[in-house]
Structure 1
Amino acid sequence: MTHEFEVRESIEIDATPEQVWEAISTGPGIDSWFMGRNEIEGREGGRTRMTMGGLAHLGTVTAYEPGRRFGYASDQNPDGTFMAFEYLIEGREGGSTVLRLVHNGFLGDDWEAEYDALSVGDRMYLRKLAAYLEHFPGRTSTYNLFAPGSRVTGPARAWAAFKDAFGLRGEISPGDPVRVSIEGLPPSEGVLEWADHGFMGARTGAGLYMLLLGHLGHVVVEYHDYTDDVDGERLETAWQAWLEATFA
């Protein structure tokens, strides 16, 4: 049985409407803050493709008004479930932008847990988008890491591990200095961007991290690198080893 849902969120971003449009409506733009590798056929009725974990998720562009409105919907699954996203862009004086998101569709039998995860996740990914546009303008991700870990019982355990990976102690808040340090990688200095609802984001000079406790208690490490000299294989190996050692 399917269950209809809707999530509405908005955020003010220190970027122009044109910059926001590029980030939400083009493949390289979406790659730079969201999940997977994305391809967008830039027109209403055009096709979309997100590839992640060897799987391709297909959809259709439902709205395409450059600088104002962009929407797409996933293809319907055999059980009738699907998701649709619509972004509305509103420029503000001083060059900032308000971005409004409507995320709706139909979920399956586990809809309550899925809805709770989506409600929090949408808000956190908008924060990630804002951090990308504010601190890495004009750059796109050259390497994306999406490293899923095991299921964790108890959010406190995950939160303590996230703080340790970022070199944080005690009470934390956005703006705190971080030191990303795990075995197998050179340490890197950065800044904590957000820490809320099981999501912790930090930026370094090279890229943007997000550690999260997701749906059903699964830990995930995400990273976007905006340089041309990242060793992706080394990065993935180190973070997968961290996940396995930390949450064994």
Structure 2
Amino acid sequence: MGHRFETSHETEVAATPEQVWEAIATGPGITSWFMGRNEVEPGEGGVVRLAFGDYSPEQPITAWDPGRRLAYGAEPGPDGRFVAYEFLVEGRERGSAVIRVVTSGFLPGDDWEDEFEAMSRGGALFFRTLVEYLGRFAGRAATPITVAGPPAPDLDHAWAALRKALGLPGVTAIGDRVRLAPGGGLPEIDGVVYFADDQALGVRAGDAMYRFVRGFFGALVVQHLVFADVDVSAAESAWSAWLTPLSA
């Protein structure tokens, strides 16, 4: 049967339209709030490329109006599937801007509702990360680190153990403090929750944004954006060691 959809997120950010454009229309900018490593061939007719494990889509740019509007999305597949993104930016007084992100497309099949829910949750997390990036780290480039723990026999239990390790209460709210000493050479985290639902947590600290996610394949996942020098291989090993006992 399938489902055609459109969702949007909008807010005012303490960043100029030029800073917003750098965040949404350059490879280092997108990498600093989205996932994986990204590249942009600028201009209408260019492409946005993502490299995230084995997932490496190329999405043609369909609108390119620097500082105002960006749109890109893959061509529909044989089953009609497609997802497109549009970013609208409007400058405001005192160096601020309003950003609106519209996601639209078509999901085929009778099980589209599960995919749409997962996409909507992910979209909300990434949008809030973009807003945090513009408010706290605009103009800085992050190094992405993604690590999945082993499959957990009871993901609900593992998720509760993760929240406890972060020092969070049973009901987590935006603004809750997070203090964690993960060990393994990793820096101590003293941060604040900027996103929370029953599938993901976003934590902002002085030089990083930490995302903790319940993976769809039954494992805990960390997706971190680090705005400081970091040994990626050592950090991946340390976070893997931290996740393993939580997943038992």
Task: Give the Cα–Cα distance (whole angstroms) in 1 for the partners of residues 207 and 175 of structure 2.
Answer: 17
* Long gaps (5+) in structure 1: none
Find the counterpart in structure 1 of residue 42 from structure 2.
42
**Per-residue deviation at 1:71?**
0.8
Task: Give the Cα–Cα distance (whole angstroms) in 2 for the partners of residues 94 and 153 of structure 1.
Answer: 52
Query: Would the aligned equivalents of 2:50 and 2:56 in 1 still touch at CA under 8 Å?
Result: yes
* CA shift in 2, pair 1:54/1:162, >3 Å: same
**Per-residue deviation at 1:144?**
0.5
Alignment of 1:247 with 2:233, yes or no, is: no
Query: Would the aligned equivalents of 1:120 and 1:197 in 2 still touch at CA under 8 Å?
Result: no
Equivalences for residues 219-238 of structure 1 within 5 A:
219-227=220-228, 229-238=229-238
Query: Would the aligned equivalents of 2:83 and 2:103 in 1 still touch at CA under 8 Å?
Result: yes
Q: Any idea what SS the aligned residue of 2:57 has?
A: strand
Find the counterpart in structure 2 of residue 123 from structure 1.
124
Task: Give the Cα–Cα distance (whole angstroms) in 1 for the partners of residues 95 and 159 of structure 2.
Answer: 36
Query: Would the aligned equivalents of 1:21 and 1:67 in 2 still touch at CA under 8 Å?
Result: yes
* CA shift in 2, pair 1:150/1:3, >3 Å: farther
Deviation >6 Å, runs of 4+: none
| Deviation larger for 159-168 or 94-103 | 159-168
Q: Which has the higher strand share?
A: 1
* CA shift in 2, pair 1:147/1:77, >3 Å: farther
**Per-residue deviation at 1:122?**
1.2
**Per-residue deviation at 1:31?**
0.3
Task: Give the Cα–Cα distance (whole angstroms) in 2 for the partners of residues 79 and 150 of structure 1.
Answer: 33
Find the counterpart in structure 1 of residue 108 from structure 2.
108
Equivalences for residues 1-248 of structure 1 within 5 A:
2-109=2-109, 110-141=111-142, 143-149=143-149, 156-184=156-184, 185-215=186-216, 218-227=219-228, 229-248=229-248
What one-letter code is carried by the residue in structure 2 that aligns with 1:12? E
Query: Would the aligned equivalents of 2:162 and 2:246 in 1 still touch at CA under 8 Å?
Result: no
Task: Give the Cα–Cα distance (whole angstroms) in 2 for the partners of residues 55 and 194 of structure 1.
Answer: 25
Q: Any idea what SS the aligned residue of 1:126 has?
A: helix
* Long gaps (5+) in structure 2: none
Query: Would the aligned equivalents of 1:62 and 1:73 in 2 still touch at CA under 8 Å?
Result: yes
| TM-score normalised by L of structure 1 | 0.88
Q: Any idea what SS the aligned residue of 2:121 has?
A: helix
What one-letter code is carried by the residue in structure 1 that aligns with 2:237? T
**Per-residue deviation at 1:63?**
0.9
Query: Would the aligned equivalents of 2:85 and 2:103 in 1 still touch at CA under 8 Å?
Result: yes
User: Percent sequence identity over matched residues?
Assistant: 46
What one-letter code is carried by the residue in structure 1 that aligns with 2:124? R
Query: Would the aligned equivalents of 1:146 and 1:220 in 2 still touch at CA under 8 Å?
Result: yes
Task: Give the Cα–Cα distance (whole angstroms) in 2 for the partners of residues 175 and 78 of structure 1.
Answer: 45
CA RMSD of aligned residues (A): 2.4
Query: Would the aligned equivalents of 1:114 and 1:215 in 2 still touch at CA under 8 Å?
Result: no
Task: Give the Cα–Cα distance (whole angstroms) in 1 for the partners of residues 34 and 155 of structure 2.
Answer: 23
| TM-score normalised by L of structure 2 | 0.88
What one-letter code is carried by the residue in structure 1 that aligns with 2:10? S
Query: Would the aligned equivalents of 1:87 and 1:99 in 2 still touch at CA under 8 Å?
Result: yes
Q: After superposition, what is the alpha-carbon deviation per residue over 1:194-246, rounded to whole angstroms, capped at 9, x for unaligned?
A: 2234221112222111112254665321101111x211111111222333322
Task: Give the Cα–Cα distance (whole angstroms) in 2 for the partners of residues 74 and 157 of structure 1.
Answer: 38
Task: Give the Cα–Cα distance (whole angstroms) in 2 for the partners of residues 86 and 67 of structure 1.
Answer: 13
